[in-house]
Amino acid sequence: MKEESNRVELLSPAGDTERLGAALEFGADAVYLAGQEFGMRTAPSNFNREELQKAVHLAHEKNVKVYLTCNTVPHNEELARLPDFLRFAQSVGVDALIIADFGVLAMAKTYAPDVVVHMSTQTGVANYASANELYNLGASRVVLARELNLEEIAEIRAKTPKQLEIEAFVHGAMCVSFSGRCLLSSYLTGRDANRGDCAQPCRWEYALVESKRPGQYMPVFEDKNGTYILNSKDMCMIEHIPEMIQAGVTSLKIEGRAKSAYYVSVVTNAYRNAIDEYYRNPKQKLSPWIAEELNKISHREYSTGFYFGHEPGQVYENGGYVREYDVIAVCEKYEDGVATLSQRNRFFKGDTADILEKGKKPYLLTLDELFDEYWNPIGSAPHAMMTVYFKTDHPIAKGAILRKKRV
């Protein structure tokens, strides 16, 4: 077994303060997040300066590292604001800057010299020569292109300095373009994907139209509903943690800064348990419940990406997600045989709740004794965020997530 200091890192997304809390609660070793500028995701609220300072403090209290994304491709008019941004990042103690642009790399060395640099997947590192040159330029880590297989990653590991860390994606949405460098959104909507504002036109349904037949749509046939030829599958490597570690990956990265806190909780918890199982017994097969957890989040059809060679990567049937479970409540506290729940979606007396607690196999409980905030018996919890008392002899941990399977 590896020494504790050499264990692979679990890196989780944090799109805002709530999602940061989820990552910290469910076992991330590090989180990546963005300020109000220069990050590749503008959809989540991200962190203003006060929030960023608090986020770093909170993470460091839990011995979790914070990596700040600075991985857009900035245009000339944005560069004047970058030095102050970099100085502030260093002043609040972020552990690394994630960078894609070589000009930004040079400025980081000038204005935040005490912060290590991770080169973003947008850099497109696909070989050891690029990795070595980036190391020579001052990078401490490279986030590899998603188009590599495990043998290629192992060769990069073998032919680069051992001090250079290697990060690779392990779970989440995949972009149809090379390492996220896409122009579709700019062309079709005017929203620049390379500056964090992707409209995801790759997920849309497309058909052909002939210029002399306006309004007559001719599908590019996959089936009667049209085609989603650009709609890539999601990545899921939960059953292949050993292969990732053996290839020499330093950090396993979960995609999803624009995803919900529930997504962050479930995926972080699953990979935390998978990694810990591996280190307890590298020969043990993954416990089935861990992989099953990843079917309880909203997701597209899963694949292993390019890690085992070329695999068909598109979902042709539709552009949507598989959603099999709903979050119905979060446990605020448990004492004297009563769980205090905060409602998230409507549920009923007699429903079976699937309960997720940190580091544990989920378990089922029947919600058979429910009361409102005045201790009146109730048959359902229909109001958003209402307080519900649930009598049960089974202690439920604070922060536990209650889910219900869709029928």
Residue 210 binned pLDDT confidence (cut-offs 50, 70, 90) = confident
Mean pLDDT of 314-342: 86
Mean pLDDT of 383-389: 97
Q: What is the pLDDT of residue 3?
A: 42
Residue 246 binned pLDDT confidence (cut-offs 50, 70, 90) = very high
The string of pLDDT tens digits covering residues 36-58 is 888 766 656 789 999 999 999 99
Top pLDDT among 38 and 328 is at 328
Architecture of domain 4-176+232-303 in CATH? Alpha-Beta Barrel (3.20)
Residue 177 binned pLDDT confidence (cut-offs 50, 70, 90) = low
Reported residue count of the chain is 407
Q: Where in the chain is the domain with CATH 3.20.20.70?
A: 4-176+232-303
Mean pLDDT of 208-232: 66
Instruction: Evaluate if residue 223 carries a pLDDT over 60.
Output: no
Instruction: Evaluate if residue 346 carries a pLDDT over 90.
Output: yes
Mean pLDDT of 203-231: 66
Q: What is the pLDDT of residue 1?
A: 33
Instruction: Give percent of the chain above pLDDT 70.
Output: 86
Instruction: Evaluate if residue 22 carries a pLDDT over 90.
Output: yes
**Stated pTM of the model:** 0.86
Q: What is the pLDDT of residue 109?
A: 97
Q: What is the pLDDT of residue 151?
A: 97
Instruction: Evaluate if residue 332 carries a pLDDT over 50.
Output: yes
The token pair at 351 is 């429903």
Mean pLDDT of 295-322: 78
Mean pLDDT of 278-288: 95
Residue 213 binned pLDDT confidence (cut-offs 50, 70, 90) = confident
Q: What is the pLDDT of residue 2?
A: 39
The string of pLDDT tens digits covering residues 126-172 is 999 999 999 999 999 999 998 899 999 999 999 999 999 999 999 99
Q: In what order do the strands lie in the sheet with 401-405?
A: 363-366, 352-356, 401-405, 325-335, 338-343, 387-391, 370-371
Structural fold of domain 325-405: Elongation Factor Tu (Ef-tu); domain 3 (2.40.30)
Q: Where in the chain is the domain with CATH 2.40.30.10?
A: 325-405
Query: Average per-residue pLDDT in the chain?
Result: 89
Instruction: Evaluate if residue 110 carries a pLDDT over 50.
Output: yes
Top pLDDT among 234 and 239 is at 239
Instruction: Give percent of the chain above pLDDT 90.
Output: 71
Mean pLDDT of 250-263: 94
Residue 139 pairs in a beta bridge with: 117
Instruction: Evaluate if residue 108 carries a pLDDT over 70.
Output: yes
The string of pLDDT tens digits covering residues 309-327 is 876 566 656 556 788 999 9
